[in-house]
Each structure stands twice: as structure tokens, then as C-alpha cells.
Amino acid sequence: NAGVMQNPRHLVRRRGQEARLRCSPMKGHSHVYWYRQLPEEGLKFMVYLQKENIIDESGMPKERFSAEFPKEGPSILRIQQVVRGDSAAYFCASSPEQGMGTEAFFGQGTRLTVV
């Protein structure tokens, strides 16, 4: 059973371009969470999705950022018109169900560099 798969591992974009980050949850997991980590900082919650539904996007910037988790395929975090401040590591986690005590498994992350 493969773990949470994120791709690409590294992504370089010029200012103004679009970045698409993909996350394939563990098999059997229907809950996906996206986090952003700046250097030397902890992870900041962005968005929580279930299949075809956004449950909580309170940590995601209102502009330029969007997320989806379609019925088929990976979850996508999309950043439009990237700026230097978007440079960070973006982590995805998945869990089989919601609720406290449900361990979430993290992927290896996508490191986005905006030049």
C-alpha cells in the first residue's frame, strides 16, 4: 500500500505563471488536507477536502488559490499568477475518516520555488 504521493517533488515557476500540485491519497482514504510550510516554520493548514467537496478552506488565501478533489484522480492545489511569497513546501495528508484520533499520513511534499 503506497503512501501519500505528491508530485512534482520540486516545481519552479516564474512570477505570474500557474502552479499545479497533485496529491494522491493512500488507498482507501477519502479525506485530504493541504498544508503550507515556510522555511523554519511549522505547517499551516490550508484546506480540507473530501471526494468532490471542500469541507474547510479557512486557511487558504481567497485569491489565486483553489483546491479540488474529484471523484476520480488526485487532489489538485492550484495557484494562479504565482508570486515570490508563494515559495514554500506544500504538504498533503490523507486519512480514512475524520475525527480526533484518526492519524493522517503526510506525503513528501512539493517544494515550490517562484523566480
Residues lying near another protein in the complex (CB under 8 A) are found at 4, 31, 33, 35, 40-45, 48, 55-56, 59, 91, 93, 95, 98-109
Output the smallest distance, CB 91 to another protein, in A. Answer: 5
Nearer to another protein among residue 55 and residue 115 (C-beta): 55
Q: Are strands 10-13 and 110-114 parallel, antiparallel or unpaired?
A: parallel
Output the smallest distance, CB 104 to another protein, in A. Answer: 4
Nearer to another protein among residue 14 and residue 39 (C-beta): 39
Q: Residue length, the chain?
A: 115
Selection from 65, 90, 74, 67 nearest residue 30 by Cα: 74
Q: Coil, helix or strand for 84?
A: helix
DSSP 72: S
Output the smallest distance, CB 16 to another protein, in A. Answer: 28
